[in-house]
Structure 1
Amino acid sequence: MRANGYAGGVEQRTALELRRALRRGETSSRELVARALELVSEHRDSGAFVSADAEIALAEADAVDARLSDTPPEARRALPPLLGLPTAHKDLIDQRGHVTTHGSAAIPHLVAAADDPVAAAVREAGAVSIGKTQVPEFGIAAYSENEIAPPARNPFDPALTAGGSSGGTAAAVALGLIPAAIASDAGGSIRIPAAACGLVGLKPGRGAVPADRRAAESGPGWGVSGPIARTPADAALLFDALRGARDEAALRGVERASELRGLRVGISLASPFEERVEIRFGADALAALDAAAAALDTAGHTVEEARIRYDAGYPEAFTAVWTSALTRIALAPGAEDRLGALASWFLDRARITAPERLEEAAEALRGFAAKARRDWGAYDAVLTPALAFPPPPIGEFRGRGPEGDYRLQCEWAPQTSMVNVAGAPAITVPLGRAPASAGASGLPVGVQLIGPAGGEARLLQLAEQIVQLTR
């Protein structure tokens, strides 16, 4: 299992290249989908996919090919933006005709009768989903291991985690099984695995994606949907498609990224977890930060230290609200015995949290969010490490017991959940691989950029500048 170097097929081409090939008649959706299914079978040991359904996917691909055939070449630019591209969905969302497990042995595994809003948006954009990708139980962890399917392994070292909760999706994209996909992020679930697997991961701001708005009505509104892709251009293509933006403004912006200059970028190592857990940024993280800062300086931006401090009460408040979601899951009698250790521990914590304490925590986080947005707003973007250190080994999190598991997650990704709480957009940007010497891991390295509300297109442009200048 390796992340690149395959011969032919889906795996060597970007989503944009595949779209051009489809519209020019140089390939067919059936060919791309069939190859993606072959790759999934060849890479079962990656843990990327929980399930794939060839019959459903190939039937959808045939329908796409018929539509392409019926459309004159000069009119194909008006077709849905992702038409015919193979993709996949996390096993947390319903996709018509496919089983949803939520990564848990504690609930029934049912075939979905209809798409949830995000799956429906991806289908409307024309992509063909071939199956479901691996997640942690109920999406509550920064790694993708559970009790019902093999763990999602890092394509650069299969002994290590691919991250989570979108670890299966990130592994699938990094391996080239699919060119790109839409994932979800409520505490870092797009950005963590994207960074661990050397990919671009865009977390849109709250309200930026129409399909997310309904879900935001039933919870704190931290969860959003966005792309995991190999390039900023592919991420922009999927973001435009998810928003239903036929003008493809984000993609056009990436194509003109070299024109962007004169922004003020603040660098920060601060984390709201730093007074509760030990945050140590490793050599990889700090080298990536320096390289990204140098690239942004070369691109014509002003890069400076950002003096930001966070409320020390954040960890307790965040944990209270984060774990409360488990109390809304309907569990049949006896089902709790089948919960994984982390979910069981989180549920126990949530149940002993008094309603008034939960409201106090929610109010504290609203104050935290307002202050964070003000602090970040002094800059056009805030630059941080993507992760504090390289991906831990498979089993390392769960081997520490629930409390140690959660602590390690906070130490590894100390600057992601705060962006969800604030509702801001953010992107993780890959900077290649660290040299395997002098304390560096030889694994993918990356950085995170945080932007203001509505700043997704600009973050994609900055990501493109960094990628181009650090090759």
Structure 2
Amino acid sequence: MTELHYLTAAEMARLVRTRQVSAVELLQACLDRIEQVNPRVNAVVTLAAEQAMDAAEAADAAEPAGPLHGVPVAHKDLVDTAGIRTTYGSPRYARHVPDADDLIVRRLRRAGAISVGKTNTPEFGTGSHTVNEVFGATRNPYDLSRSAGGSSGGAAAALATGMVPLADGSDMGGSLRNPASFCNVVGLRPTPGRVPDPSDTAAWYTLSVQGPMARTVGDVTLMMSAVAGFDPRSPFAITEDFAPDPEEGVAGLRVAWSPDLGGLPVDPATAAVTAGAPAVFERLGARVERVDLDLSDAEDAFRVYRAWYYALAFGDLTGLGPNTRWNVERGREVTGADLARAERLRSGLYQRMAAFFDTYDVLIAPVSQVPPFPVEEPYVKEIDGVPMPDYLAWMRSAYWISVLHAPAASVPAGFTGDGLPVGVQIVGRPFADAKVLRVAAAFEAATGHGLRRPPL
């Protein structure tokens, strides 16, 4: 029998709803697991055990209501949680305790989820390696000498080790997908606006999104049912309700396969694992075609918009770490001509990809260009002999997709010879989140890679 802490969220919800297991029992199993393994991986950085136990006891005393009634969940240390320390990974906010919940937290609680605590992130989510001056580094549960990815690295490591069944995250340049790939779990970057994130300073910014992470595609879909939905405070919030795709499988679907997204360097170990994905889809009845993409316009567009956002969000450089400071400094150099060029590039790319998705249902590609790298390294400096000029460059396979305004899921695709996880990225037409999850579920069921647990 599967241990309680490794049950799926869907199974946990069913057991609580039918009174076979109490919310208190589920929470205690997760708290015990956190105590057992968290000191080694450093995934959960603020534990709210007392508040969580009060909420679990209240859940057991009430009639089950929402779809996540009694299910433990962890929140990324970038989202505000009322009464629970939220540091954003920054020494500036090391003692910060918000008065109110962010929207995604409120929606999870409204669905009945039990907030367990906060997961580690680099300062202000800057980068795909989870390390900061407040809590240190999160380690990969499959190899403690390696990175868990980022910026939702704490969430991914907590899920992989059974500390929680669900976790929220965010993604500007790959932060829901890269750590999922590194830790053998599932992460979905939704279409911008699918999970609204109201902002007082950058309400129209669409590169950054919030979304779900879990150990299974089914649990990601379940979590989406709780966190997705219109909110009038977001100007591009999607009005239609999210619903799982009524179809199943991938038979007859047109799948485009790009091993390098148009010539990006890919580590041979990663390439060897992801190269097996097309055959899986062919066995499932999909029509797979290798494609030569040109997404290079996304490079300039992403960097300009990202830099502009950082200059907007962080005007004061005092106390900022080197990565955040570098982004702000680049943002202060952005001109009106830069923004005009970025808008033209992104608009043109969007229209070309709209035509692309008239031909293909989904695009599959590597999530990350490398497997998990040594945790002591600040970032990947070379890929297959190609130098990376800065800490962003090694994440291109993820952040080029961010520019497309498209949903993208990271699903376990296998392991390197050293036992390190590798994910495959499934990208769909904008607003086709449910189809992306349907395709991801078929791949997951056919391969079973996500069932392999870390050797803790």
TM-score by length of structure 1 reads 0.85
Which of 187, 193, 205 aligns to 1:220? It is 205
* Partner of residue 187, structure 1: 173
Once the two structures are overlaid, the 10-residue window that deviates more, 285-294 or 444-453, is: 285-294
2:248 equivalent to 1:257: yes
Residues 284 and 445 of structure 1 are in contact (CA less than 8 Å); yes or no, is this contact kept in structure 2?
Answer: no
What's 1:302 paired with?
287
Deviation at 1:399, TM superposition (A): 9.2
- Name the SS for the 2:75 alignment partner: strand
Q: Which amino acid aligns with 2:302?
A: F
* Cα distance, 1:366 vs structure 2: 3.0
CA offset at residue 378 of structure 1? 2.3
Asked if structure 1 preserves the Cα contact closer than 8 Å seen for 2:85 and 2:98, the reply is: yes
State the match for 1:465 in structure 2: 442
Give distance in 2, aligned partners of 1:284 and 1:139. Answer: 27
Structure-1 residue corresponding to 2:190: 204
What does residue 124 of structure 1 align with? 110
Q: Does 1:426 align with 2:403?
A: no
2:393 alignment partner, one of 390, 400, 410: 410
- Determine if the alignment matches structure 1 residue 229 to structure 2 residue 210: no
1:92 paired residue number:
78
8 A contact 2:140–2:146 mirrored in 1 = yes
On the 8 A contact 1:398/1:405 being kept in 2, the answer is: no
1:160·1:392 contact (CA, 8 Å) conserved in 2? yes
Q: How does 1:61-80 map to 2 (within 5 A)?
A: 61-67=56-62, 71=63, 76=64, 79-80=65-66
**Separation in structure 1 between the aligned mates of residue 242 and residue 14 of structure 2, nearest angstrom:** 15
Give the alignment partner of residue 38 of structure 1, picking from 32, 35, 43: 32
CA distance in 2, matches of 1:165, 1:344: 16
Alpha-carbon spacing, 1:355–1:101, altered in 2? closer, same or farther (3 Å):
farther
1:456 is displaced (CA, Å) by: 1.6
Q: Is the 8 A contact 2:261 2:293 kept in 1?
A: no
Q: Which letter does structure 2 place at the counterpart of 1:82?
A: L
Match of 2:308 among 316, 324, 327: 324
Indicate yes or no: 2:227 matched with 1:239.
no
**What is the TM-score when the length of structure 2 is the normalising length?**
0.88
Structure 2 vs 1, CA of residues 399 and 237 (structure 1 numbering), >3 Å: closer, same or farther? closer
C-alpha distance after superposition, 1:244-300 (max 9, x if no partner) = 6999842x74xx634x4101111113447x5xxxx3223333233332211111111
Counterpart residue number, 1:3 = none
Is residue 142 from structure 1 mapped to residue 133 from structure 2 by the alignment? no
The alpha-carbon deviation at position 420 of structure 1 amounts to: 1.9
Contact 2:298 2:403 in 1 (8 A): no
Find the residue that maps to 2:30 and give its secondary structure: helix
Aligned partner of 1:391 in structure 2 is: 372
Secondary structure (helix, strand or coil) at the match of 2:163 reads coil
Deviation readout 1:344-369 (Å, 9 max, x if unpaired): 22222212223443343344333333
In the alignment, what sits opposite 2:355?
374
3-state secondary structure, aligned to 1:100: coil
AA of the residue aligned to 2:404: A
Which residue does 1:266 correspond to in 2? 256
CA contact 1:201–1:235 (8 Å) conserved in 2: yes
2:451 match: none
CA displacement at 1:131 relative to structure 2: 0.8
Pairing partner for 2:47 from 30, 52, 72: 52
Name the amino acid aligned to 1:447.
V
- Structure 1 position 452 matched with structure 2 position 429: yes
> CA–CA distance in 2 between the matches of 1:270 and 1:8?
39
RMSD over aligned Cα, in angstroms? 2.7
Q: Structure 1: which 5+ runs fail to align?
A: 1-5
Contact 1:288 1:385 in 2 (8 A): no
C-alpha deviation, 1:7, in angstroms: 7.9
Counterpart secondary structure, 2:288: strand
1:63–1:337 distance in 2 versus 1, CA, 3 Å: same
For residue 23 of structure 2, what is the aligned residue in structure 1? Answer: 29
Asked if the contact 1:370/1:422 (under 8 Å) is kept, the reply is no
Letter in 2 for 1:269: P
* Preserved contact between residue 285 and residue 386 of structure 1 (Cα < 8 Å): no
Deviation at 1:301, TM superposition (A): 0.8
SS of the residue aligned with 1:188? coil
Does the 8 Å contact 1:91/1:101 carry over to 2? yes
Moved more, 216-225 or 146-155: 216-225
Cα deviation, 1:413-437, whole Å, max 9, x if unaligned, reads: 3221122222111111112333x2x
Letter in 2 for 1:268: S
| Structure 2 gap segments, 5+ residues each | 231-239, 382-386, 449-456
For the residues of structure 1 that align with 2:391 and 2:288, how far apart are their CA atoms? 30
The alpha carbon displacement at 1:409 in A equals 4.2
* 1:381–1:452 contact (8 Å) kept in structure 2: yes
Quote the residue 2:236 is aligned against.
none
Deviations 1:422-465, CA, capped at 9 Å, x for gaps: 2111111112333x2xxxx3211221111012322222221122
> C-alpha deviations, 1:294-313, integer Å up to 9, x for none?
111111110001232124x5
Q: 1:146 to 1:362 in 2, by over 3 A?
A: farther
How far apart, CA to CA, are the structure 1 residues paired with 2:374 and 2:183?
14
Q: In structure 2, do the counterparts of structure 1 residues 173 and 459 end up closer, same or farther at CA, with 3 Å as the change threshold? A: same
Q: Distance in 2 between matches of 1:364 and 1:247?
A: 31
Q: Which amino acid in 1 is paired with 2:85?
A: V
Structure 2 distance, partners of 1:357, 1:431, is 38
Indicate whether 1:155 and 2:141 are aligned.
Answer: yes
Q: Which amino acid aligns with 1:153?
A: R
State how far apart, in whole Å, the 1-side matches of 2:261 and 2:366 are.
Answer: 11
The Cα of 1:468 is off from its aligned counterpart by 2.0
2-structure distance, mates of 1:239, 1:453 = 16
- Counterpart of 2:402, as a letter, is N
